[in-house]
Amino acid sequence: MQDSTTALAMDGYTSNVPAFLTKLWTLVEDPETNHLICWNTNGTSFHVFDQSQFAKEVLPKYFKHNNMASFVRQLNMYGFRKVVNIEQGGLVKPERDDTEFQHLYFLQGHEHLLELIKRK
């Protein structure tokens, strides 16, 4: 039986990647959920579109809740930061419900870096 800090990586080997990060990677990578969560064009961050729909449809499939605030709190605990659009100065609400998050070690195509992400 695995504890929550040991997860089965995509290629089948066991690593010390927390379950939250493994699930996050899986849902960002899943083409079926791209309308609600996906990588940015250069793979250095990910977007969550329509937070209420994301929380209702996607979160319960991967987590034991459908609470967007809990999801964001988890991201913050692992050092993810919200990306603020310069043009908007962080003060103007974007046209669509689009929130972008990034972490130095959460990069598309570099799943091996997940091991470097530590909980605060």
The CATH number of the domain where 80 resides is what?
1.10.10.10
The answer to the question of residue 2 being in a domain is no
Number of separate domains in the chain: 1
Rounded Cα distance between 66 and 13, Å, is 29
Tokens of 53: 């729909």
pLDDT at 1: 40
**Cα 88–chain centre separation:** 23
For residue 23, what are the domain limits? 19-84+95-116
The answer to the question of residue 8 being in a domain is no
The answer to the question of residue 12 being in a domain is no
The answer to the question of residue 23 being in a domain is yes
The answer to the question of residue 59 being in a domain is yes
26: region left, alpha or beta (phi > 0 left; psi from -120 to 50 alpha): alpha
pLDDT at 16: 85
The answer to the question of residue 40 being in a domain is yes
Whole-model pTM: value is 0.81
The answer to the question of residue 55 being in a domain is yes
Q: CB within 8 A of 44, min separation 6: which ones?
A: 102, 107, 108
Alpha helices for the chain (secondary structure H): 19-29, 51-57, 59-62, 68-77
pLDDT at 6: 45
Nearest by Cα to 9 from 117, 114, 102, 119: 114
Neighbours of 1 (CB within 10 A): 3
10-residue mean pLDDT series, the chain (120 residues): 44 73 96 96 96 96 94 98 72 69 98 95
